[in-house]
């Protein structure tokens, strides 16, 4: 085995494999940094070019893209509060508040350091686990997967901000969203609102980008400020090295989270979509001062970044050893194996073992090079935090809209983006945590399918006595215990935590920590109505079609009513003191609902104008309008910015990604009216 390990290293460092490795790193950094793209798109684009290539070179470029997107996705998570990819969602909880405090360089220093560590650690575990992975993987069937999903939702307790009831109700709402579309048990559509777009369930990207990206961009626009709340005098190499030292001081946390990443990655069906949440929840529950998380604690960056890089190596184990891909990206890598004439299984662990170890080396080297390169570049990226928010908003909105569009190339993706953007903004203003919604939405399909199969196979709940199920059950109980304890600690020490920040650093509100009782009550009332109407509808369906939605609706309704009752009591107390009118006025003004409505109108206008003239014209036009009206910039700057957006749409999304564009109302008349020599793809 040692000989094969060394041979694998020689294979990677030979030319042209090394050149393809470096090219893959560059592509992966770009795809990870742009919200909505990700490594899957890169592998799809590159895969056709691997025909006829040597296996080592082919996997050098593919695995480099695969590995480094979970490093560069930190950029959007820290700078914009937008998940660069699905595996960087939890990083925004503390990474973005650090940028708001002017500590983006510190966040990058810590994140890139543990990303390199996590990637190398995951590769090492991949090398060591290949011969012994089969006994572990084959023991995880539907009951174990269902309980693992429950364990993931138990982490919600540590992400619930001020109110545990709000966090759990938000999780139930996420499970309800996951039930949209055809049921797993029978071909009966649920909550599809009469539109065919919802028959195939809600895509993940519009939901995530709507909940997280739109509210943050709305904040920048309506409050007319930069990302950072402090002056530009806190960055530089010193702060970057402080982040590196933070990673070293928290090396034990990084190691634990890397282990979590590897072994969650090994389990097909889970992978990178939840690993960062699990690692973040573990970090919160295993500390003595959980109240600091969510307000810019560097440990909240270290934990998910170590895990989401380690998961890559773990996820390759079932793909290479057993031909069981645990995610879409791994399915693409499995396709690459077959294209090269290789068969996963015994062959990859015997005659092709040097090639298998070359994959291990590729992942490790790619993570180290990408982390080092991004470290050198991080100070320049951190400067974005001090730019005018109006210069950031239209450019990022382009990527957000196009990222959502890539989900299914339907105008429904944009409608879902706007709707979930409104939901996300109301939740943020009302102190309702958004992470539980996303986590539950991701896990919902897996939970329903695993639960129904377990029930049918075991004819009831007999599967609850399986050994691994019992072990996971103990972990769930322990997780809930630590979550409740952490919530109590946060409630007692909230005032103390506010004083922990530096004297010249303004306090940053963590996820679910906003104290706006009026907005909280308004959103809570909406949630109660949604649960009631959804429950009434569910009773008209067959038992196994209605069962899972009702599992979410019943506790969700009770928890939402509890939250609404708490808000009503707070308003009643203000009324007794004669402060109700002033309180309502202040809280409504604090939410800036008027300017928020204008921004939402801008988003709706983007959708409507696109339906009329198409993306290539609508997005640049609205970028120009935003900069002139909202930002009050000059005509020349606004026009140059809009032209750059048009070039990106045409040059990258059209020519490189080969995006399927919307056929707008003017598509046919414009195509027929253009002269024959004019390339129509420039405008339609």
DSSP codes, 185-199: SSS-EES-TT-GGGG
Look at residue 460 and tell me whether its pLDDT is greater than 70. yes
Residue 401 neighbours by CB under 8 Å, 6+ apart: 414, 417, 606, 615, 619
Rounded CA-CA distance 181/408 in Å is 15
The pLDDT value given to residue 527: 95
Q: Structural domain of residue 664, as residue ranges? A: 606-682
Q: What percent of the chain has pLDDT over 90?
A: 18
Q: 613: how many CB neighbours lie within 10 A of its CB?
A: 19
Mean pLDDT of 100-112: 83
- Whether residues 302 and 425 share a domain: the answer is yes
Tell me whether residue 586 is in a domain: no
DSSP letter string, 227-243:
S-SS-S-S-SHHHHHHH
Tell me whether residue 543 is in a domain: yes
* Residue 182 backbone dihedrals phi, psi, to 5 degrees: -65, 140
- Whether residues 465 and 610 share a domain: the answer is no
Residue 369 neighbours by CB under 8 Å, 6+ apart: 22, 25
Mean pLDDT of 563-578: 88
- Whether residues 25 and 112 share a domain: the answer is yes
- Angle value at C-alpha 255, between 153 and 257, nearest 5 degrees: 10
- Whether residues 269 and 128 share a domain: the answer is yes
CA 483 to chain CA centroid, Å, is 22
Sign of CA dihedral 55, 58, 64, 65: negative
pLDDT, tens digit, 9 for 90 and up, residues 384-421: 666 777 888 898 899 889 888 977 889 999 999 999 99
The pLDDT value given to residue 643: 95
Task: Name the packing angle between helices 39-46 and 55-72 (round to 10°).
Answer: 160
- Whether residues 49 and 195 share a domain: the answer is yes
Mean pLDDT of 495-523: 61
Sign of CA dihedral 36, 38, 40, 43: positive
Band of the pLDDT at 14, cuts 50, 70, 90?
confident
Q: CB of 412 within 8 A of CB of 197?
A: yes
- Provide the token pair at 416: 């879902």
- Angle value at C-alpha 180, between 177 and 181, nearest 5 degrees: 160
The pLDDT value given to residue 113: 87
* Residue 551 backbone dihedrals phi, psi, to 5 degrees: -60, -35
Alpha-carbon distances, residue 273 vs 88, 439, 449, 632 (angstroms): 9, 8, 17, 40
Q: What percent of the chain has pLDDT over 70?
A: 82
- Provide the token pair at 329: 């990206």
The pLDDT value given to residue 180: 93
- Whether residues 333 and 458 share a domain: the answer is yes
The pLDDT value given to residue 537: 93
Tell me whether residue 500 is in a domain: no
Sign of CA dihedral 105, 118, 373, 64: negative
Average pLDDT, the chain: 80
Tell me whether residue 542 is in a domain: yes
Higher pLDDT, 316 or 197: 197
Tell me whether residue 314 is in a domain: yes
- Whether residues 311 and 431 share a domain: the answer is yes
Write down the number of H helices and E strands in the chain.
Answer: 30, 2
The pLDDT value given to residue 228: 58
Tell me whether residue 587 is in a domain: no
Rounded CA-CA distance 110/276 in Å is 16
Q: Which of 252, 260, 266, 265 is nearest to 281 (CA)?
A: 260
- Whether residues 338 and 461 share a domain: the answer is yes
Q: Which of 174, 165, 628, 207 is nearest to 407 (CA)?
A: 207
Q: Which helix (H) or strand (E) holds 318?
A: helix 299-322
Tell me whether residue 619 is in a domain: yes
Look at residue 498 and tell me whether its pLDDT is greater than 60. no
- Whether residues 550 and 674 share a domain: the answer is no
Indicate the range of 150-164, 526-540, 611-625 predicted with least confidence: 150-164
pLDDT, tens digit, 9 for 90 and up, residues 525-539: 999 999 999 999 999
Mean pLDDT of 56-69: 84
Residue 573 neighbours by CB under 8 Å, 6+ apart: none
Q: CB of 243 within 8 A of CB of 113?
A: yes
Most confident of 497-501, 531-535, 570-574: 531-535
Residue 612 neighbours by CB under 8 Å, 6+ apart: 618, 664, 665, 666
The pLDDT value given to residue 502: 41
Look at residue 624 and tell me whether its pLDDT is greater than 60. yes
pLDDT, tens digit, 9 for 90 and up, residues 324-352: 565 666 766 776 777 777 777 667 766 77
Q: Which helix (H) or strand (E) holds 181?
A: strand 181-182
Rounded CA-CA distance 532/516 in Å is 24
Tell me whether residue 92 is in a domain: yes
- Whether residues 352 and 485 share a domain: the answer is yes
Look at residue 219 and tell me whether its pLDDT is greater than 50. yes
Rounded CA-CA distance 401/206 in Å is 9
- Whether residues 177 and 44 share a domain: the answer is yes
Alpha-carbon distances, residue 3 vs 7, 11, 62, 349 (angstroms): 6, 12, 24, 13
- Whether residues 61 and 207 share a domain: the answer is yes
Look at residue 631 and tell me whether its pLDDT is greater than 90. no
The pLDDT value given to residue 129: 66
Task: Name the packing angle between helices 467-498 and 142-154 (round to 10°).
Answer: 10
As a residue count, the chain comes to 684
CA 71 to chain CA centroid, Å, is 13
Whether the model pTM is above 0.85: no
Alpha-carbon distances, residue 87 vs 204, 300, 567 (angstroms): 12, 14, 34
**How many domains, in total, are found in the chain?**
2
């Amino acid at each position: 085995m040692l000989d094969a390990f060394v041979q694998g290293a020689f294979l990677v460092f030979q030319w042209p494999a090394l050149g393809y490795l470096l090219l893959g790193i560059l592509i992966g950094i770009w795809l990870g940094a742009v919200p909505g793209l990700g490594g899957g798109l890169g592998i799809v684009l590159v895969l056709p070019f691997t025909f006829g290539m040597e296996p080592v070179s082919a996997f050098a470029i593919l695995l480099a893209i695969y590995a480094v997107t979970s490093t560069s996705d930190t950029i959007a998570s820290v700078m914009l509060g937008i998940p660069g990819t699905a595996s960087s969602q939890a990083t925004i909880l503390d990474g973005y508040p650090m940028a708001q405090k002017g500590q983006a360089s510190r966040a990058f220093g810590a994140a890139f350091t543990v990303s390199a560590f996590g990637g190398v650690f995951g590769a090492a575990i991949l090398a060591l686990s290949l011969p012994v992975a089969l006994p572990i993987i084959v023991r995880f069937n539907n009951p174990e997967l269902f309980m693992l999903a429950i364990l993931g939702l138990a982490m919600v307790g540590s992400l619930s901000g001020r109110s545990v009831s709000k966090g759990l109700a938000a999780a139930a709402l996420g499970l309800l969203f996951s039930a949209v579309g055809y049921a797993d048990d029978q071909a009966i559509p649920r909550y599809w609102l009469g539109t065919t777009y919802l028959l195939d369930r809600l895509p993940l990207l519009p939901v995530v980008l709507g909940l997280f990206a739109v509210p943050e961009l709305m904040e920048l626009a309506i409050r007319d400020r930069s990302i950072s709340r402090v002056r530009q005098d806190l960055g530089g190499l010193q702060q970057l090295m402080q982040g590196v030292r933070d990673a070293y001081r928290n090396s034990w946390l990084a190691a634990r989270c890397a282990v979590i990443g590897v072994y969650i990655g090994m389990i097909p069906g889970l992978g990178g979509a939840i690993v960062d949440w699990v690692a973040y929840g573990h970090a919160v529950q295993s500390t003595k001062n959980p109240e600091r998380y969510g307000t810019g604690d560097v440990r909240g960056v270290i934990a998910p970044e170590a895990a989401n890089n380690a998961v890559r190596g773990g996820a390759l184990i079932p793909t290479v050893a057993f031909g069981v891909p645990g995610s879409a990206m791994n399915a693409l890598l499995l396709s690459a194996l077959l294209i090269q004439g290789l068969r996963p299984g015994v062959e990859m662990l015997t005659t092709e073992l040097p090639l298998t170890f070359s994959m291990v080396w590729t992942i490790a080297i790619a993570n180290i090079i990408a982390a080092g390169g991004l470290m050198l570049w991080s100070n320049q990226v951190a400067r974005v935090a001090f730019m005018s928010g109006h210069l950031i908003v239209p450019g990022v909105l382009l990527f957000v809209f196009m990222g959502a569009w890539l989900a299914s190339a339907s105008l429904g993706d944009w409608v879902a983006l706007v709707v979930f953007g409104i939901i996300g903004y109301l939740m943020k203003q009302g102190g309702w945590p958004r992470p539980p919604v996303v986590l539950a939405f991701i896990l919902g399909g897996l939970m329903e399918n695993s639960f129904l199969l377990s029930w049918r196979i075991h004819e009831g709940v007999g599967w609850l006595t399986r050994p691994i199920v019992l072990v996971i059950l103990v972990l769930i109980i322990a997780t809930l215990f630590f979550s409740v304890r952490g919530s109590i600690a946060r409630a007692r020490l909230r005032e103390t935590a506010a004083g922990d920040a530096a004297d010249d650093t303004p306090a940053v509100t963590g996820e679910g920590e906003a104290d706006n009782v009026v907005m909280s009550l308004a959103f809570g009332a909406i949630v109660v109505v949604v649960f009631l109407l959804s429950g009434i509808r569910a009773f008209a369906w067959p038992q196994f079609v209605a069962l899972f939605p009702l599992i979410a609706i019943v506790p969700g309704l009770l928890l939402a009513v509890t939250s609404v009752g708490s808000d009503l009591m707070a308003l009643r107390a203000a009324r007794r003191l004669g402060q109700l009118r002033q309180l309502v006025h202040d809280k409504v003004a604090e939410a800036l609902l008027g300017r928020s409505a204008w921004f939402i109108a801008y988003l709706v206008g983007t959708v409507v104008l696109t339906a009329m003239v198409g993306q290539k014209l609508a997005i640049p036009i609205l970028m120009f309008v935003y900069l002139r009206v909202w930002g009050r910039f000059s005509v020349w700057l606004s026009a140059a910015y809009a032209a750059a957006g048009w070039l990106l749409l045409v040059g990258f999304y059209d020519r490189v990604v080969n995006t399927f564009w919307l056929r707008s109302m003017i598509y046919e008349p414009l195509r027929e009216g253009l002269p024959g020599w004019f390339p129509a793809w420039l405008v339609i």
